[in-house]
Structure 1
């Protein structure tokens, strides 16, 4: 089996956003979604004073990234964890604060490329979809045990699937005769249930269902909802959080968290912000940044990316003030 590859999205822009925060002795970046280490490699090559703590829930990704980043020696530390566990990871490494946190959300190219992982709908494979294949329920478990109402909710909320109820009802009917185990049978069901006019627009008809199942299996939105505040909380003054998201629900969560962290809480009719009431963070990107046509042509995964960044400008209340 060929080794999986990974082209990091907006890598030059990500490095440019992080570099000012990492330009000092002892700087630490947390790459919260290490994958195959493409972004981390670029940071280590460009920011010679920085070290990177790379977090991934996928043991296979950690192993491959570790080999790729071995030339950087002690400047890279790999940790098997989910990215909402940032506080525990930093405590274990005796780090009280960091200078940057990077999130490149969603499924990695590596996971899509390895057929046995069950993330891709293009080939028949076990319906797994766990980013950490050592623990937790699989996509097959979701399909075979959820009620029709819960399945419809997952497909509607995470896949924005217009035919969620119709698909869910068909899954429940078919699993009574034979449980779902592989992707080809699910794809066949989706072709049968999604009307032909709808199949001709919006990409592959399985795309939304597979995305929804993956997000449910890995609890991605709940993890992100916990992880962004934890990342913000871990920042030293001058530190930055940079997030690349590929789904409207993810981007909305990030935008809301960043807006809340950069908003002053004094009444809107006050002519100035009193000392001590300034926001602790500022927006580095005024709105979500997108990939240009050249990057999308070279790396199609970049087509849906939304990039946002914030910077800590004041110490966290009760931290570092002394």
Structure 2
């Protein structure tokens, strides 16, 4: 597990509360940190999911060591409903892993030069494709909505102008133009390219759409008493989870002036009324945990459910920005 330190490990275990005989899905296997902790906490089984080839290889190695307790599946976590076997709990750690960031050839980091890729899997357009094909206006919207970048228009304009002469193929090239446009010091005291790289990664991997589908799939497949635990690192992702849990846990009631409204019973009961954050001690030991937020809920009796949920983040879906082929 070297190279990646999972955040809020004890808080995740407390929320999952693994028990003997249960089947728990680690929907974002990565380095296997949560999986190892779950297997050590109770005599249960874990199914690991990941679309990253390197993560799958790590999972297959663990499956060879523990064939009766661990199974690795190469798939997106949005495909929970297609697993073909029942499970009792799901944990999702949303975001890029340290393994991916540390590999320059994956193109996730602006801190080291590498090909402008950012794909968590092997299919679909790379970040270089996105930069080359989206219009200036579309790039501006992408950086604004998915990166919450205040200088989105200026950055998009500079990219659209410069790419007429030289295509953006390297992470250092993209980081360089962003730094040139907004200066070396960002207003939020982060690297100037942070939000642009974040936006591209979210877009390339359809991370908001994947999360929305995963939440819906978990709701569909979890039994009564099943647990769903989600750790996010970005405000858009946390907004999706917060709205989903809030909507699915509230009673449909009337007021003293109107009769009780008819509607489905809550499908989840919140484990925590408020978001859970990493302790000061953990943040000091693992700075990555500073932005982490944990939300968790327990599946209640099954009501009638909508077939799918979209738009929870409040930002335009990728289809409105344009999807690069």
User: How far apart are 1:275 and its partner, in Å?
Assistant: 12
CA distance in 2, matches of 1:189, 1:4: 33
CA distance in 2, matches of 1:39, 1:271: 47
User: How far apart are 1:53 and its partner, in Å?
Assistant: 1.0
Say whether 1:110 aligns with 2:99. yes
Which of 68, 71, 89 is equivalent to 1:74?
68
CA contact (8 A) 1:4 1:114 kept: no
CA distance in 1, matches of 2:236, 2:247: 17
Offset from partner CA, 1:146-185 (integer Å, 9 cap, x none):
0011101110111111000000011011111011100111
CA distance in 1, matches of 2:253, 2:72: 42
Which of 245, 269, 272 is equivalent to 1:282?
269
Q: Please name the residue that 1:8 is paired with.
A: 6
CA distance in 1, matches of 2:297, 2:64: 30
Q: Please name the residue that 1:23 is paired with.
A: 19
Gaps in structure 2 of 5+ consecutive residues: 306-325
Which of 198, 203, 207 is equivalent to 1:220?
207
User: How far apart are 1:285 and its partner, in Å?
Assistant: 1.1
RMSD: 2.2
CA contact (8 A) 2:23 2:45 kept: yes
Say whether 1:63 aligns with 2:61. no
Give the secondary structure class of the aligned counterpart of 2:277: coil
Which of 268, 288, 307 is equivalent to 1:301?
288
CA contact (8 A) 2:115 2:171 kept: yes
Say whether 1:208 aligns with 2:208. no
CA contact (8 A) 1:37 1:69 kept: no
CA distance in 1, matches of 2:258, 2:9: 41
CA distance in 2, matches of 1:153, 1:121: 21
C-alpha distance 298-69 of structure 1, shift in aligned 2 (>3 A)? farther
Which of 142, 151, 157 is equivalent to 1:163?
151
The normalised TM-score by structure 2 is 0.88
Q: 1:130-209 residue pairs with structure 2 within 5 A?
A: 130-132=119-121, 134-195=122-183, 199=186, 201-209=188-196
User: How far apart are 1:276 and its partner, in Å?
Assistant: 9.9
Which of 221, 226, 233 is equivalent to 1:246?
233
The normalised TM-score by structure 1 is 0.89
User: How far apart are 1:278 and its partner, in Å?
Assistant: 4.2
Count of equivalent residues: 305
Offset from partner CA, 1:29-66 (integer Å, 9 cap, x none):
11111111100110011021x21111101111111233
CA distance in 1, matches of 2:267, 2:302: 7
Gaps in structure 1 of 5+ consecutive residues: none
